[in-house]
Amino acid sequence: MLKCDTHTHSLYSRHAYSTIEENVREAAAQGLELLAITDHFSDMLYPEVHIKHFQYLFNQATLPEVWYGVRLLHGCEADIVDLDGHLFGHHIPVTENIVGMKYKHIQDLDEFICSKMNFVIASIHGKSFTAEASLAQTTEMYIKAMDNRKVLILGHIGRSGIPFELDPVLLAAKEKHKLIELNEHSFDKSSPDAIKRCRAIALRCGELGVPVSVASDAHISCKIGRFDQVAQVLEEIHFPQELIASRDKASFLSAMEAAGISP
């Protein structure tokens, strides 16, 4: 049984339907040891970008470290926004705080937010910027995204539907001690072609010895800790258990440390 859910959403993602406490309660009911709240950090949330819209992310230190017996990590799912692998918020300066006081030291929004996260999932939703890109460019995009020191996981790279060279990305993840996500939502809601891609990614991760993180991508509490379809695929391909970084709390925290990210 998998004991961690490393990609979940709360009301603060604006298209999810449960509170953080509801998610934590469900995690406890499912016997999970660790839950990560990873709400969206993206331009899909608000028509204008202002620091006030992202208070829910940088105030997460308010959350208890252990809640209902579940180790709670605070992170975000940040969109990759260009072929250089930059995350949402890049080149958007944070000049003032939420009450309008000017900062002496100005940071870009991505640096400001990511520095306050336990870890970051880098994924793609709006993909128009990749429309004319070559395979070499999209491959390098994913590799460069993993250079961000807080990025631990590449999110749903099979479901995003962007062509890239698989082995170079997987081998770079292995070298950088980053994780490839196997996402239940990808098997639940995707097209047959996307599901085929996700299965191929899981198979190749096993063959190359690339660690993965299994997650629900839940947008409502009743989906927390549900990985039935991913678990079935992993069993069918005889995926090595030791490569599942999210199999238990100790393994996931160790994976964070290996990536140079302190929980």
> Over the stretch 70-103, which tens digit does the pLDDT of each residue have?
999 999 999 999 999 999 999 999 999 999 999 9
Distance from C-alpha of 117 to C-alpha of 99, rounded to nearest angstrom: 22
Region 98-109: what's the mean pLDDT?
95
Average pLDDT over residues 136-147: 98
**What is residue 141's three-state secondary structure?**
helix
pLDDT at site 263? 76
Q: What mean pLDDT comes out for the span 27-47?
A: 97
In the structure encoding, which two tokens stand for residue 32, read together? 């999970």
Range of lowest pLDDT (85-94, 108-117, 180-189, 193-202): 180-189
pLDDT at 243 over 90: yes
Given a contact cutoff of 8 angstroms between Cβ atoms, the answer to whether 153 and 78 are in contact is: no
Taking alpha carbons only, the member of 71, 87, 68 closest to residue 37 is 71
Full-model pTM: 0.97
Assess whether pLDDT exceeds 70 at residue 111: yes
| Average pLDDT score, the chain | 96
Asked whether residue 263 is assigned to any structural domain, the reply reads: no
In a domain, 105, yes or no: yes
**Is residue 146 helix, strand or coil?**
coil
Query: β-strand 34-41 against 70-79: which pairing, if any?
Result: parallel
Q: Give the pLDDT confidence score for residue 1 in this predicted structure.
A: 84
Residue 188 has pLDDT above 80, yes or no: no
> Residue 190 is encoded by which pair of tokens?
């995707």
Q: Domain range for residue 215?
A: 4-258
Which of 9-23, 189-203, 214-228 has the weakest average pLDDT?
A: 189-203
149 occurs within a structural domain: yes
What does the block give as tokens for 246?
């999210």
Looking at residue 29, what is its pLDDT?
A: 98
What percentage of the chain exceeds 90 in pLDDT?
93
Based on the structure, what is the number of domains in the chain? 1
**Domain CATH code at residue 100:** 3.20.20.140
Q: Is residue 233 in some structural domain?
A: yes
For residue 237, the model assigns a pLDDT of 97
Question: CA–CA separation, 5 vs 217, rounded Å?
Answer: 8
Name the band, by pLDDT with cuts 50, 70 and 90, for residue 189.
Answer: low
Name, in order, each residue with C-beta under 8 angstroms of 220's C-beta and a sequence gap of 6 or more: 16, 17, 18
The answer as to whether 73 is a domain residue is yes
pLDDT band with cut points at 50, 70 and 90 for residue 190:
low
Report the C-alpha gap between 163 and 65 in whole angstroms.
38
Domain contains 142: yes
User: Is 85 among the domain residues?
Assistant: yes
Question: What residue spans of the chain are helical by DSSP H?
Answer: 20-29, 55-58, 109-114, 135-145, 166-176, 184-189, 192-208, 228-236, 249-258
pLDDT at residue 210 tops 90? yes
Residue 156 domain-assigned (yes or no): yes
Closest CA to 37 of 6, 68, 66, 71: 6
Span 202-222, average pLDDT: 98
- Mean per-residue pLDDT, 5-18: 97
